[in-house]
């Protein structure tokens, strides 16, 4: 059983969280920048995949992360990831960008779902203050939203709870 952690970042915050999650999930492999991955078929070698994505392209209909994830979304959708557990975490700013909080998570979630992956790591929206997010499904976010700009004091407890949840939801952790 192997679990991979992948991220993309513009100012380093998503990478930092990937490293901190790796510290909490010792059984997962060391985080990799998705822009260093030449062949997405390496996803198939994992039983679980954890992906980190920031939101930058505020209000855009598509390609909302402004990172290397944007150019491979459709390729991800074309993979066969049946049987894989996939969890997403997102970086955003719930104060300045409260109408678009962590929007980019939704996009990654949609394409992994299209690939047949079993999506895990959903988080209740009740512990967050924001106006709108495309990443909300019903009462839950489709992954773990994190805000290092306005709520960094909450990050430690958020990632610790999420790591515990993933240990229940992803075999091999
Ligand atoms: C120009 C700009 C646009 C942003 N747009 C959004 C946004 O639409 N939604 C959001 O939640 N955060 C937005 N953010 C906040 C970033 O997502 C946040 O700073 C994040 O931690 C950056 O992660 P990174 O360092 O991994 O790139 C924006 C930040 C900037 C500077």
Give the span between the Cα atoms of 91 and 75, in whole angstroms. 22
pLDDT, tens digit, for every residue of 125-151? 999 999 999 999 999 999 999 999 999
How many residues belong to the chain? 173
* Ligand 1, atom 28, residue with closest C-alpha: 56
* Ligand 1, atom 6, residue with closest C-alpha: 56
Q: Give how far Cα 91 sits from Cα of 4, 43, 80, 83, 141, Å.
A: 19, 22, 27, 27, 13
Determine the Cα angle at 4 with ends 119 and 20, to 5°: 95
Stretch 28-47: mean pLDDT: 96
- What number does the ligand 1 atom closest to the CA of 52 have? 26
Task: Give me ligand 1 centre to Cα 54, in Å.
Answer: 6
Task: Give me ligand 1 centre to Cα 2, in Å.
Answer: 30
Residue identified by tokens 């999506």 is 119
Task: Give me ligand 1 centre to Cα 91, in Å.
Answer: 7
**pLDDT surpassing 90 at residue 26:** no
Give the span between the Cα atoms of 66 and 71, in whole angstroms. 9
Give the span between the Cα atoms of 56 and 90, in whole angstroms. 11
Confidence of residue 9 (pLDDT cuts 50, 70, 90): very high
Q: Which residues line ligand 1 (CB under 6 A)?
A: 9-14, 54-56, 58, 91-93, 97, 100-103, 148-149
DSSP 44-62: GG-SEEEEEEE--STT-SS
* Ligand 1, atom 1, residue with closest C-alpha: 56
Task: Give me ligand 1 centre to Cα 11, in Å.
Answer: 9
Task: Give me ligand 1 centre to Cα 57, in Å.
Answer: 8
% of the chain residues with pLDDT over 90: 95
Q: How far apart are the first and last CA of the chain?
A: 8
Stretch 53-76: mean pLDDT: 96
Structural domains of the chain, ranges and CATH numbers in brackets: 3-169 (3.40.50.360)
**pLDDT surpassing 90 at residue 1:** no
């Amino acid at each position: 059983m192997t679990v991979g952690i992948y991220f993309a970042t513009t100012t380093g915050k998503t990478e930092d969280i990937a490293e901190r999650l790796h510290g909490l999930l010792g059984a997962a492999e060391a985080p990799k920048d998705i822009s260093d991955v030449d062949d997405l078929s390496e996803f198939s070698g994992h039983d679980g995949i954890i992906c980190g994505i920031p939101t930058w392209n505020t209000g855009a209909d598509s390609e909302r992360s402004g990172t290397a994830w944007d150019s491979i979304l459709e390729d991800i959708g074309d993979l066969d990831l049946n049987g894989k557990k996939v969890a997403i975490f997102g970086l955003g700013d719930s104060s300045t960008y409260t109408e678009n909080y962590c929007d980019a998570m939704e996009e990654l979630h949609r394409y992994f779902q299209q690939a047949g992956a079993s999506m895990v790591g959903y988080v209740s929206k009740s512990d967050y203050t924001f106006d709108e997010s495309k990443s909300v499904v019903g009462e839950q976010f489709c992954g773990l939203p994190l805000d290092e700009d306005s709520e960094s004091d909450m990050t430690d407890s958020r990632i610790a709870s999420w790591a515990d949840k993933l240990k229940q939801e992803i075999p091999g952790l």
